[in-house]
């Protein structure tokens, strides 16, 4: 086994220094690529900024761009860099005219199309426009502004997915590609879990604080010294929690007898738990609950994460001074000792201009968000994603807010796939699964480590027989053998501290650890597939949600001062978030007038939209980021494809495979929506 740099020998030309572009450049360098930048490193900034820009070699100037492009495999630029390149006759997509095998990625706030393509933006204005700020906080209280860099991180990981997939497509004969990735589009993909209230009820999602709309108890609770997050889902965990509290009577109370009753009576239940935790230290509460297998965590500050053992163990801290590290434990695969017999369709050539993963067979075994969302991302790049569900269907089918008897989350995370149902404990079902396994290229799962082993799906059990890519996504990696949930990961990674402030904790309104973990898993799967294509070795990717969540907070590790507070300008017909030290000269009149005044002086600003308005925004419509599908006579709203190529017209995602049971691989033509 080895963990060599997957991109060793790949030459990358950087033409940008925005946060998302710099993050992508750092990831590529840490994965073994030789990165040369046309930009000067910033002459200001703290330890994070210095680390971020330190991996690239500096070119002597922009006049070297044409020469360096001749030997580059990959071009990464941002909006400013693209403008500089355009002045040299190398603006998007001209570089591919000169070098048809080039893989190019442009990262910008809004992309090359839509009414906002040239507008300035910041993380806060993007979150305001996407409807996330409006949904952050507790019902009945004002919205909470977030400093967590969701837009830049999802865009950077989108860029990594695009680069790795582009290199695969080039190796298969598909030629180069030019991806136009917008931070706003990437951010908007996180809103999938908030869309049901918009599509089904026509109202914005409620601000729920740290509660869960479909489970209770699920919240943060004050202890003597710090808050803790406690999350229960289902009866077994609830009964164990009551036992640890010394309140075995609670499950027999009609108010708390089942999940629906507990959700209805969450106020009373939270009061009981709050009294129990208030008299104890946070560490004692967490120790007792984890011993009973109950998901929980102390709400950690970013500097506590930096100094903690978990981040160091996962390589997210690289030295005693607290220098950050990229999430390489998740991204760099472990490979088999030697090449394995070829299987699947990875080595089949594809036509030029074809999606890079065309025909690649992905077997998905998982539920809810992290695994399924990763599978959907790879389906958008052409993979034939076959979702294997148990006979009763995967768990998200039974969640609340249903359409035709199926939970809305299933539609969001499984668009563009096919599905089958197999009982792996039954001889016939297992035989069918083994036939699928023998023909696949990638196995993707977010099942827990003990479940994988019990079902014969663990990496060593699969790779001993099949030379595939095996990608798992769990809370802290397979060795931890834990069952974690999104809110717990947000608590222990520093996300909740950054949003809620010292002595408190507030989660993002979306499952950010799950979704960012899905992006990391999709990136790990395509990086591993590139290694498999080049070497013939089987690969194992061990992805941790913790890695993606901590990577999200590294820029705040050494920043003691709070982030500057933006201005909320009350206009005649709404509110505008102006992310600057002072508001623009004109702050009266309608929202449009305030936005025009801000744009005239180059100040980033955005309307504070709720999600009902965000899905109708002209930029969202122009980029097709909110897609409607008819499912059993009901209009379902899902997020669109943000991995946008300038060289081909990718079809919108098909509806999720609700009623499908097709346990066979496609050959040779893909289904509609997987072209």
Q: Comparing 549 with 567, which gets the higher pLDDT?
A: 549
Give CA–CA dist 642/112, Å, rounded.
12
Mean pLDDT of 262-270: 93
CB environment 295-304: b (16+ within 10 A), e (fewer): bbbbbbbbbb
Q: Of 136-150, 217-231, 283-297, 559-573, where does mean pLDDT reach its minimum?
A: 559-573
pLDDT tens digits along 580-628: 877 777 777 899 999 998 988 888 999 999 999 999 999 999 999 999 9
Place 560 in a pLDDT band, splitting at 50, 70 and 90.
low
Residue 666 in contact with residue 213, Cβ under 8 Å? no
Q: Is 28 left (phi over 0), alpha (psi -120 to 50) or beta?
A: alpha
Extract the runs of DSSP E, i.e. beta strands, from 59-156.
Answer: 74-78, 103-108
Cβ-based neighbour number of residue 116 at 10 Å: 22
For residues 304, 308, 313 and 318, what is the CA-based torsion angle, rounded to 10 degrees? Answer: 60
Task: Give the tokens for residue 75.
Answer: 């071009």
Give CA–CA dist 139/161, Å, rounded.
37
Sorted by sequence, the CB contacts under 8 Å of residue 115 that are 6+ apart come out as 618, 619, 622
Which residue matches tokens 């709070």? 562
Q: Comparing 564 with 243, which gets the higher pLDDT?
A: 243
Give CA–CA dist 591/573, Å, rounded.
6
Place 537 in a pLDDT band, splitting at 50, 70 and 90.
very high
Percent of the chain at pLDDT > 90 equals 81
Q: How far is CA 283 from CA 55, 299, 305, 502, in A?
A: 38, 11, 15, 17
**The pLDDT of residue 126 is above 50:** yes
Give CA–CA dist 586/567, Å, rounded.
13
Cβ-based neighbour number of residue 348 at 10 Å: 13
Sorted by sequence, the CB contacts under 8 Å of residue 180 that are 6+ apart come out as 92, 106, 111, 112, 113, 644, 645, 646
Task: Give the tokens for residue 193.
Answer: 């879990």
**The pLDDT of residue 636 is above 60:** yes
Q: What is the pLDDT of residue 562?
A: 67
Mean pLDDT of 416-439: 96
**The pLDDT of residue 162 is above 90:** yes
∠ CA 283-289-295, nearest 5°, is 105
CATH number listed for the domain at residues 11-189: 3.40.50.10540
CA-based nearest residue to 176, from 97, 84, 235, 248 = 97
User: What SS3 class is residue 12?
Assistant: strand
Sorted by sequence, the CB contacts under 8 Å of residue 79 that are 6+ apart come out as 16, 18, 106, 108, 109
For CA atoms 354, 357, 359, 365, give the dihedral sign. Answer: negative
Q: What is the pLDDT of residue 147?
A: 85
Residue 6 in contact with residue 531, Cβ under 8 Å? yes
* DSSP string over 520-579: HHHHHHHHHHHHHHHH-EEEEEEEEHHHHHHHHHGGGTT--SPPPPPEEEEETTEEEEE-
Give CA–CA dist 616/130, Å, rounded.
10
pLDDT tens digits along 503-530: 778 999 999 999 999 999 999 999 999 9
pLDDT tens digits along 353-404: 999 999 999 999 999 999 999 999 999 999 999 999 999 999 889 887 889 9
Task: Give the tokens for residue 585.
Answer: 């000269």
Q: What is the pTM of this model?
A: 0.96
pLDDT tens digits along 653-668: 888 998 889 899 986 5
Q: What is the pLDDT of residue 4?
A: 62
**The pLDDT of residue 669 is above 70:** no
Radius of gyration, alpha carbons of the chain: 24
Query: What are the domain boundaries of the chain?
Result: 11-189, 567-608
∠ CA 341-344-349, nearest 5°, is 105
Extract the runs of DSSP E, i.e. beta strands, from 33-92.
Answer: 34-37, 57-58, 74-78
**The pLDDT of residue 115 is above 60:** yes
Q: Please provide the average confidence, as pLDDT, over all residues in the chain.
A: 93
Give CA–CA dist 327/549, Å, rounded.
10
Separation of CA 617 from chain center: 23
Q: What is the pLDDT of residue 518?
A: 98
**The pLDDT of residue 1 is above 70:** no
Q: What is the pLDDT of residue 2?
A: 41
Q: What is the pLDDT of residue 41?
A: 77
User: What SS3 class is residue 474?
Assistant: strand
Task: Give the tokens for residue 525.
Answer: 């799967």
Q: What is the pLDDT of residue 675?
A: 42
Q: What is the pLDDT of residue 561?
A: 64
CA-based nearest residue to 601, from 624, 578, 574 = 578
Q: What is the pLDDT of residue 233?
A: 82
Query: SS3 letters for 238-283?
Result: HHHHHHHCCCCCHHHCHHHCCHHHHHHCHHHHHHHHHHHHHCCCHH
Q: How far is CA 390 from CA 415, 422, 429, 625, in A?
A: 18, 5, 10, 31
User: What SS3 class is residue 198?
Assistant: helix
Q: What is the pLDDT of residue 674?
A: 43
């Amino acid at each position: 086994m080895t963990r060599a740099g997957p991109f060793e020998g790949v030459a990358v030309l950087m033409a940008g220094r925005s946060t998302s572009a710099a993050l992508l450049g750092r990831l590529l360098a840490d994965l073994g690529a030789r990165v040369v930048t046309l930009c000067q490193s910033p002459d200001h900034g703290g330890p994070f900024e210095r680390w971020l820009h330190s991996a690239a070699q500096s070119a002597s100037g922009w006049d070297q761009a044409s020469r360096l492009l001749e030997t580059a495999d990959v071009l990464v630029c941002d909006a400013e860099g693209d403008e500089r390149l355009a002045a040299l006759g190398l603006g998007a997509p001209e570089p591919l005219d000169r070098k048809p095998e080039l893989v190019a990625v442009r990262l910008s706030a809004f992309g090359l199309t839509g009414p906002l393509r040239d507008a300035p933006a910041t993380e806060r204005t993007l979150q305001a426009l996407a409807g996330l700020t409006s949904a952050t906080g507790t019902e009945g209280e004002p919205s909470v502004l977030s400093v967590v860099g969701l837009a830049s991180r999802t865009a950077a990981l989108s860029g990594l997915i695009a680069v790795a997939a582009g290199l695969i497509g080039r190796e298969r004969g598909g030629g180069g590609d030019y991806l136009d990735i917008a931070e706003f589009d990437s951010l908007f993909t996180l809103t999938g879990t908030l869309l049901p209230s918009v599509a089904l009820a026509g109202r914005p999602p409620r601000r729920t604080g740290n509660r869960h709309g479909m489970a209770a108890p699920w919240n943060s609770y004050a202890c003597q010294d710090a808050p803790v997050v406690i999350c229960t889902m289902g009866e077994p965990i609830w009964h164990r929690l009551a036992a640890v509290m010394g309140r075995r009577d609670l499950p027999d109370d009609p108010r708390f007898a089942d999940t629906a009753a507990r959700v209805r009576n969450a106020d009373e239940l939270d009061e009981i738990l709050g009294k129990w935790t208030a008299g104890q230290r946070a560490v004692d509460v967490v120790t007792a609950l984890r011993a009973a297998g109950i998901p929980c965590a102390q709400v950690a500050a970013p500097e506590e994460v930096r100094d903690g053992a978990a981040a160091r163990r996962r390589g997210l801290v690289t030295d005693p001074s607290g220098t950050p590290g990229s999430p390489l434990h998740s991204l760099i695969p472990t490979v088999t000792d030697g090449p394995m017999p070829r299987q699947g369709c990875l080595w089949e050539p594809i036509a030029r201009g074809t999606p890079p993963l065309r025909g690649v067979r992905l077997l998905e075994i998982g539920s809810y968000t992290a695994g399924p969302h990763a599978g959907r991302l790879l389906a958008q790049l052409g993979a034939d994603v076959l979702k294997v569900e148990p006979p009763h269907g995967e768990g998200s089918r039974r969640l609340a807010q249903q359409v035709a008897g199926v939970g809305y989350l299933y539609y969001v995370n499984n668009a563009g796939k096919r599905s089958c149902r197999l009982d792996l404990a039954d001889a016939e079902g297992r035989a069918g699964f083994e036939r699928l396994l023998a023909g696949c290229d990638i196995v993707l799962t977010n099942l827990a480590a003990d479940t994988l082993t019990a079902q014969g799906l663990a990496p060593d059990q699969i790779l001993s027989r099949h030379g595939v890519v095996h990608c798992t996504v769990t809370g802290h990696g397979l060795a931890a053998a834990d069952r974690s949930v999104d809110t717990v990961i947000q608590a222990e990674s520093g996300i909740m501290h950054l949003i809620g402030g010292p002595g408190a904790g507030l989660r993002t309104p979306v499952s950010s650890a799950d979704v960012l973990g899905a992006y990391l898993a999709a990136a790990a799967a395509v990086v591993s597939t590139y290694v498999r294509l080049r070497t013939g070795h089987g690969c194992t990717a061990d992805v941790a949600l913790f890695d993606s969540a901590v990577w999200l907070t590294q820029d705040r590790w050494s920043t003691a001062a709070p982030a500057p507070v933006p201005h909320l300008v009350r206009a005649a017909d709404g509110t505008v978030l102006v992310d600057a030290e002072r508001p623009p000269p004109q702050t009266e009149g309608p929202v449009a007038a305030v936005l025009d005044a801000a744009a005239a002086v180059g100040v980033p600003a955005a309307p504070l939209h709720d999600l009902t308005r965000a899905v109708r925004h002209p930029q969202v419509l122009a980029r097709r980021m909110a897609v409607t599908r008819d499912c059993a006579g009901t209009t379902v709203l899902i997020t669109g494809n943000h991995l946008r190529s300038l060289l081909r017209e990718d079809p919108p995602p098909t509806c999720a495979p609700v009623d499908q049971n097709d346990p066979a691989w496609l050959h040779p033509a893909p289904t509609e929506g997987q072209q």
